[in-house]
Chain A
Amino acid sequence: NAGVTQTPKFQVLKTGQSMTLQCAQDMNHNSMYWYRQDPGMGLRLIYYSASEGTTDKGEVPNGYNVSRLNKREFSLRLESAAPSQTSVYFCASSVLAGRAQYFGPGTRLTVT
Chain B
Amino acid sequence: GQQLNQSPQSMFIQEGEDVSMNCTSSSIFNTWLWYKQDPGEGPVLLIALYKAGELTSNGRLTAQFGITRKDSFLNISASIPSDVGIYFCAGQELAGSYQLTFGKGTKLSVIP
Contacts and interface: CB of A to CB of B under 8 A. Distances in A.
Contacts of A102: 45
A42 interface: yes
Contact of B98 (A33, A90, A105): A33
Contact of A106 (B41, B99, B104): B41
Interface in B55-104: 88, 90, 92, 95-100, 102-104
Query: Which of the four size classes fits the interface of chain B?
Result: 20 to 34
A104 B1 CA distance: 25
Contacts of B97: 97-98
Interface residues of A, number: 22
29 contacts: A4-B42, A31-B98, A42-B102, A42-B105, A43-B88, A43-B100, A43-B102, A45-B98, A50-B98, A56-B98, A58-B99, A59-B99, A97-B96, A97-B98, A98-B31, A98-B92, A98-B96, A98-B97, A99-B31, A99-B48, A101-B100, A102-B45, A103-B42, A103-B43, A103-B45, A105-B41, A105-B42, A106-B40, A106-B41
Interface of A: 4, 31, 33, 42-43, 45, 48, 50, 56, 58-59, 90, 97-106
